[in-house]
Structure 1
Amino acid sequence: MMQTVRGIYKDGRVEFINSPPADVDQIPVLITFLVDEHGQEVDLQKQGIGPENAMDLRNRLKCFADDWERPEMDAYDKL
């Protein structure tokens, strides 16, 4: 099952904005912090990315996540 639920990270916990799936007791999740390198929230709407576009992009790019998270990829952050 894949479902996106909005929330806010506060004091080490995630508070849901939307209700989580009712039939789920425990499930692995991915948390994406929507801030830029300066800690400013990224406004996806200003970037021309609507909710449907964001979900589509997230689903299509998730196959690259393991590579992006490798420590040696940090070198590209400095370019």
Structure 2
Amino acid sequence: MLVSVQGIYRNGRIDLIENPNNMPEGTRVIVTFVESSEIDLASQGIDRTQAEFLRASLATFSEDWDSPEMTIYDNYDAAKANS
């Protein structure tokens, strides 16, 4: 069984952001480092104020976008190619 949780690497240690459920102490782990998800706003041609405005403007769509019914679009291209 694979369980994924997020963490942050600091001073040679991994601090978990969330606790894995039902994992006994001493369970072996594999750690994969991923690049930061922070976006370089300047490289996108926007400043922090514009980014905050965009985030607030798009927030109204998040409930619909994250609804279970929207998973139909997760593999839309593959499904369309098979039809």
| TM-score between both structures, scaled by the size of structure 1 | 0.43
Q: Between Structure 1 and Structure 2, whose CA radius of gyration is higher?
A: 2
| TM-score between both structures, scaled by the size of structure 2 | 0.41
